[in-house]
Structure 1
Amino acid sequence: MNYYFIYDGNCNLCVTLVQLLETLDQGKIFRYIPMQDEQTIAQWLITSEDCQQGMMLIDANMPDRRWQGSNAAEEIGRLLPLGSIFVDAYRALPGAKWAGDRFYAQIRDNRYTLFGKRPSTYQSAYCVDDNCRS
């Protein structure tokens, strides 16, 4: 485990992404923390307001090294096997980063309307303390 992924545990799209990453990674690279777990995210001086700017990725070995929003999505992709090939190709396309940032912001700001809101917060089996699911 090298990274903490902070996501919206009430967002259907966000939870689907986490579940996909859980299947691909099985806790080897990522640990998952819902942004609703304010006690856990506070240890990195992250607030609920910070989380409204999008998902976050934190380097567990260097917590000051972090990515948010579309930058976090790119870094997550880069960390997956063969993912850097696709992220590098995306970054090489003129205007793709600019368009991707705006697309991400639209999805982030309208995620509940577009994808729905879960009735309860999703807790990953691959959490920070390995004791998060009841």
Structure 2
Amino acid sequence: MSAALDPEMFDPVCPFSAMPFQIGDKWTAMVVLCLEHGPRRFGEIRTPLRTVTPKVLTETLRAMERDGLVLRTVHPEQPPRVEYELTVLGRSLLSLIGAVRVWSKDHLPELLAARRAYESESRLPGPSQQ
């Protein structure tokens, strides 16, 4: 028999509610990786991310700036040049992202096999579908 879950386990002021990104938020982690080696312009960030829309990338960068992960610098030129770079806080995510990448590489075959098994079981007619 398993122990009952504590109804107070997620305190309303829990620090997890302030997390800068969800574990599965691929854009934030990918932007961090794009900025790992120095400041980049919007188009330079977007190029390797191919499938991100400009709107979603803008929202991601704004959220990262709000959370202190990215510094946005507007250079007084004509036309204005805007660059994004990781702050010290943003750079601290590199080790976490690195650990997740290693875990993913080590466990990807298992994860994909579990998904395939789940999907094939989900397609079988259940008792109410027979």
Q: TM-score, normalised on structure 2? A: 0.24
Question: 1 or 2 for the larger relative contact order (CA 8 Å, sep ≥6)?
Answer: 1
* Structure with greater proportional helix content: 2
